[in-house]
Amino acid sequence: MLSEDIDVDRFFPKCFDMSDLQDFENFHEVYKWVYAVSILKNAVTAEEPKDQARIATALIVTLRRLFPADKMLSNITLGRYPLCSIE
């Protein structure tokens, strides 16, 4: 029996309140991250990784999770991304 007063953040493994929109979105993000990590683990253990595009995408997803947004934004410079300039 479920109770409304259970704190889902106190459970391990991570639990989500799927009736709460923010928790549902958090679940979706964690699910994508875990799936990306599993792709990378399989690529590392494979004799010859086959899907380079899939591996590259998984790496991007995991890096986004590892680096806070403010650090990622500080990497956006005119030198690196000239199309972002005002000119």
pLDDT digits (tens, 9 = 90+) for 47-79: 887 888 899 989 888 888 777 666 656 666 666
Structure tokens at 81: 């991304």
Single-letter amino acid code for the residue at 34: V
What's the pLDDT at 1?
43
Instruction: With beta carbons less than 8 A apart as the criterion, state whether 48 and 41 touch.
Output: no
Sign, Cα dihedral of 18, 22, 24, 29: negative
Answering whether pTM is above 0.75, one says no
Top pLDDT among 83 and 42 is at: 42
Averaged pLDDT, 8-14: 66
With cut-offs at 50, 70 and 90, classify the pLDDT of residue 12.
low
Which residue is it, tokens 């979105």? 25
Largest CA distance in the chain: 61
